[in-house]
Structures are given as C-alpha cells and as structure tokens.
Chains A and B, each alone.
Chain A
Amino acid sequence: MFFRMVRGTFVRQWKKLLMIALTVALGASIATAMLNVMLDVGDKINEELKTYGSNITVIPQSEAVMNKLYDVENGETQDEFLNEDKLGELLTIFWANNITDFAPETDAQVLLDGNEVKVVGSWFAHHFEYEKKGTTYTRDTGLINLRSWWDIKDGQWMDESASDSDRYAMVGCQLADKNNISAGDSITLKGSRGEEVLTVSGIYESGDDEDEYIYTTLSAAQRLTGTQGLLKKIEVSAITSPEDELAVKAARDPSLLSGDEYDLWYCTAYVSSICFQIQEAIPEASATAVRQIADSEGKILEKTELLMTLITVLSLIGAALGISNLVTSGVMERSIELTLLKAVGAKNGQVTFLVLTEVMATAVVGTAVGYLMGYVFAQIIGETVFNSAIEMNGMAAFIVAVLILFVTLLGSIPAIRLLLRLKPSEVLHGGH
C-alpha cells in the first residue's frame, strides 16, 4: 500500500521529483569532485613538489663550509667538486626508494659569440646504473623529471639515448631571443679548457634565471672546463615525511638524540634523516634541504582546500535551498491529498514518513547520478590542474552520502512543518 502511494507520487509528480533529483545531483557532484580532489591533493602536491624540482641539494662539504662562513651563493665562485663515481652511493642509502629523481650538475662560464654565458651540464633522460657488492642499482631520471615545468618553445627535449647526444644542447628562451637561436642551429661554446660545437635540440622557458642558461650533457660541460669525472652539485628529489618535533630536534644535531629517538628518526623519511644518510654515503658531501618551495606549496594547498571547502559548502547550501523550495511546493500541491490521509487516520509521523521516503528515494537516485558526474568533474580538475587522474576515495563517497542525507533532510524541514500544520478539519471543512 505504502509502495503504491509512493509510486503514485512518482508517476504524478515526476517533474518535481526530477528537479529534486537534479538539484541533489548537482550538489552531490560538486561535493564529490571537491572532496576527492581535496583528499587526493596531498599526494598530488607531493608529486607537484617533485615536479617543482629537487628538495635536497648535495654540494661538496668544503664549499658548504665556505658558504656558511661567507654567505656566498651556491657554486658561483667556488672550485670544489664531488666525485662522479660516488653518485651511485645515493642509491644505497636506507631511504633510497624514496629518492624519486636525482641529477648531477656541473656548470661553467663560457663564451658564446664573445659573450659570457652560463652552461650547465646535467642529465636529461638518463639511464643510470651503479654496481656495488654484486648488486646493480638502476634509475631512469634526469631534468625531464626535475624540470618538468619547462615549457619547450621550439624543438624538443634532448634525447640522451641517441649515440651523438653529447653534441646537443638546450637553450633558455631569453638567451635564445637575444642571440637569435632556434632549434636545429649550431652554437659554438668556448670554455676554459675546450671548445664544443653543439646542435640546439630545443628552446625552453623556465620562468627564472635558467632562461639565460644553456643546458648540455654532463660530459660536454666537463670537457669545456676540463673537469672530467667531477661534479659541482647533485639535485635530489625525495618523498619525505612531514616534519615534527623529533625532526626539528634532529635537525639541530642528530647526536643529541637518545638511542631510541635516533633509531626512530633514522628510520623515518624525514628530509633531515635522508640528508644525513646521503652524507654518510658520500662523506665529502653536504646535503641540505631546500625548504621554501615546500612551505609556499603548503600555503597554496591550504588556500586551495579552503576555496574548495567553500565551494562545497555553498553548493550544498544551494542544494538545500533548492530542495526546500521544491519539496515545499510539492507538499503544497498535494495538501488536500495529505490532509485526506490524516482524515482517514494517518498520524503526522506517518504522513511525514511518506513524504520523506519519496524525497529520500529521489535523493538517492540524485546522489548516484551526482557521484558519477562528480567523478567526471574530479577527473577534469585533475587533468587541467594536476595533469593526472584523481583517485576516487571511498571515504569521500561516504562523506558525500552523509552530507546529502543531511542537506536533504534539512531542505525538507520547511515542507514538513507545513505538512504538520495541515489540519484535516480545515481543508475538509464541510464542503468548502
């Protein structure tokens, strides 16, 4: 009987119920999209962080000491080096698996058409192998990951797998503009110890000082300066655990930690413990965390989350208002019928239950549709903002369901109050 009455409403008021379903779907879709993006965004930001370059720099220890003493910019005037042979030691540390990317660098001032320019030698898309005690460590890494934000204006990324890759370079867009260089051109670089004629494979835009640089392979740069087998710097990108008290304490001086604290710290992927382990593996190196990027990213993340929360709340308020309007007018339309139910013996609770069942059934359908729509929205946001798919979170589905339930009930309150006020005596008052 109950079911027949509900069905009757669905048949008769299908337009209104469809509108309710749509309103719910809209609210649910936005909430779904935002929640999933928010829950997924922590990981995304980590990926972003990685794409925004290294979070650890490794430089020669002597140079680090000099920098501390004289407050000199990294690697500008120093002539200290790391040994290229030791590079592989990075992959032997406890947290090696957290090192997602790394690239060695050496730089030099050279002459291009009589003007002094900075050349940096590094890896682009490099296949690296390191053997130690019978174990082979391999990694495919390079600037293609560490400079993923580079916008290639002309030409393409350097292909390091080509046999003559050593004869190529990439030029920053401002330098290219100044010197009228485009992809495919040959440039001649005069270094302190040699001269290289390189073909420009691509022009990049980085948005910072690097737009004035030339990037080439590590070996080409080493030949220009006569520093074969030597490095000035290693950029490391690692996934790290958030800093906490222990990390702060350890950052001051690991030797101050108690035995247990030390073990815990060492076995946690804090940026400080990873740096510490790198220095253990390469004793002549000094590894330091690059912090500013992470901090500003964190703030942007906070603001983005705030914005998304706001959008979700507003859309849910909108949904509640819409639902309240629709349900109320639906109840008004059928006030005679509902009053009649009271007059044949239905209690207020029973009539309320009937109306709520109809609304809730509609809301469930709307939520399901909205969830699917939200999935699509989330993927669109993921693609456009983070360049990757958003993973749908079961927790988000649950939260959305609860929110929508709450919003639907909230939106139904005015209609229920109206319904409770319907008096069988008035509407049925003899023959009015």
Chain B
Amino acid sequence: MSLLELKNVSKIYGELNALDNVSLKIDKGEWLAIMGPSGSGKSTMMNIIGCLDKPSKGQVLFDGKDISKESRRKLTEFHRDKIGLVFQQFHLINYLNAVENVMVAQYYHSMPDEKEALEALERVGLKERAKHLPSQLSGGEQQRVCIARALINSPELILADEPTGNLDEANENIVLDIFKRLHKEGTSLIVVTHDPEVGEEAQRIVRLEHGHISSDIRNEKFSEG
C-alpha cells in the first residue's frame, strides 16, 4: 500500500500554477528524489506533502486518508506526528544549543527528553557537540542537528529540501550516509535536490518542470540489486 498519494494536486499563486495537476504515489519505505530546475515547484510540493501548506486543488492521501481538507490545527498535528523536516537553510534556533534544538521538536510533540535527544545527536555523529550553540557549529554540523531534530519523533516520512545544497563533499557524504541508514531502517525519504549525485542515491527520481512531472524513473542501481 502506498504511504502517500497526490491526486491531481495544483497549487496556484495568483496567475502562476506552481504545481499543475500533479499525481504521484509513494510507497512505504521508499526513497524518492525530486529534481528539477529552480522554480519548478519542488519546494511547493514538499510543503504540501509536509502538511505545511494546502493544495489549491486536488487531494493528498496519507495512509489512504485524505488530509487536504483538514483544518490547519489538524494538519499541524499530523505533520508533527508523521513527518520530519530538513530544510535547505539550517533553520536552528540560535540561542538554544544543539541538544536543546532537538528537544524543541520533542517539546511540541510530547515531552522533552534530553537522553533521547542526545541519542539522536549520536546517530548523526554529534554527541560531543551537543552543548554547542548553532553559531559554534559548522554548516554540515548544523544540517546534521536539523536531521537529528527531524528524526527525534520517529517520523514515518522524512522530507529534506536541498539538504546538501550548502554543504561540501565531505559533509554531503555524511548526510547521505545518515539517509542511507534511515532508509535501511525503513523510514520513507523524499529528498529534493539539484545534485545528480544525491539523486543517484535514491530508488526513484521524479523530475518536475513548470509544475508538471516530466519524468518518473526507477533507479537502475537499485532495481538490479
């Protein structure tokens, strides 16, 4: 059964169809890359999948349940419980240290638990830097804190918008390794990227152009293996 399904989804900003009648199915445990030129509607799609935004038209089914008509409050709860978000810019709260930033997500989900938060940081290899403020961390480290924050509530789906966009090769590899591990553990991943190398790691690559899906291909690397 598919984890997520977009049915004829459009997002219209005034005259502009940022997403134009897009339909897409994503299976449980799938790792999907979304690629496409700037302005093609990738982030718009992520926002809708991530329940941060509502489509102008169409339906969004999560576990077979239509969530596109839910209230904002319900959407927030839904996104909080099921989805972990990683942004292109490392959005951390700059007066809270690494572990506290992770705990914020716990706080709004259930109960902050420092031990669990430290474990999440350990998974991204940052246990030693838990007490550092974002300004004392490198870009790659900040991005890893974001990933730890996205992981903390054990989401079914991780959405990452350009997670490696601002990172160098070494850090990119660290992040990709984390994703690979999550994938192995059965977490579904949707990763927006410009970078073909990052796209290559996914099982499936969806290309967007002007709000349309222009191609949807399985990655041979995986179908072989």
Binding site for B on A (CB under 8 A): 1-2, 4-5, 8-9, 11-12, 336-337, 340-348, 350, 423-425, 428-431
- Other-chain residue from A9, A340, A341, A423 in contact with B53 (beta carbon distance below 8 A): A423
Stretch at the interface among B57-65, B101-109, B135-143, B213-221: B101-109
Write the chain B residue with the least CB distance to A13.
B95
Write the chain B residue with the least CB distance to A350.
B108
How far does the alpha carbon of A344 sit from the alpha carbon of B94 in the complex, in Å? 15
Contact A346 B108 (CB under 8 A): yes
How far does the alpha carbon of A423 sit from the alpha carbon of B44 in the complex, in Å? 13
- Other-chain residue from A8, A345, A429, A431 in contact with B108 (beta carbon distance below 8 A): A345
Known contacts A344-B108, A344-B149, A346-B108: A431-B73 contact under CB 8 Å: no
List residues of chain A with CB within 8 A of the CB of B109.
345
Does B183 reach chain A (CB closer than 8 Å)? Answer: no
List residues of chain A with CB within 8 A of the CB of B161.
430-431
Contact A425 B104 (CB under 8 A): no
Does B165 reach chain A (CB closer than 8 Å)? Answer: yes
Within 8 A of A (CB), among B83-108: 85, 87-89, 91-96, 100, 103-108
Whole-angstrom distance from the CB of B74 to the nearest CB of chain A? 10
Contact A430 B162 (CB under 8 A): yes
Contact A1 B52 (CB under 8 A): no
In terms of DSSP, what is the predominant structure of the interface of chain A?
Answer: helix
Among B93, B96, B112, find the residue whose CB has the most chain A CB atoms closer than 10 A: B93
Does B192 reach chain A (CB closer than 8 Å)? Answer: yes
List residues of chain A with CB within 8 A of the CB of B165.
431
Whole-angstrom distance from the CB of A295 to the nearest CB of chain B? 62
- Other-chain residue from B77, B88, B103, B105 in contact with A431 (beta carbon distance below 8 A): B88
Does B204 reach chain A (CB closer than 8 Å)? Answer: no
Binding site for A on B (CB under 8 A): 42-44, 46-47, 52-53, 72-73, 76-77, 79-80, 85, 87-89, 91-96, 100, 103-109, 112, 149, 153, 161-162, 165, 192
Contact B105 A345 (CB under 8 A): yes
Contact A431 B162 (CB under 8 A): yes
Contact A347 B73 (CB under 8 A): yes
Contact B80 A428 (CB under 8 A): no
Q: Can you add 6 more A-B contacts, CB < 8 Å, to A343-B52, A428-B52, A431-B43?
A: A8-B96, A340-B91, A343-B87, A343-B91, A424-B52, A429-B44
Write the chain A residue with the least CB distance to B72.
A348
Write the chain A residue with the least CB distance to B106.
A1
How far does the alpha carbon of A431 sit from the alpha carbon of B103 in the complex, in Å? 24
Contact A1 B103 (CB under 8 A): yes
Write the chain B residue with the least CB distance to A339.
B91
Write the chain A residue with the least CB distance to B165.
A431
How far does the alpha carbon of A9 sit from the alpha carbon of B95 in the complex, in Å? 8
Contact B107 A2 (CB under 8 A): yes
Contact A341 B104 (CB under 8 A): yes
List residues of chain B with CB within 8 A of the CB of A343.
52, 85, 87, 91
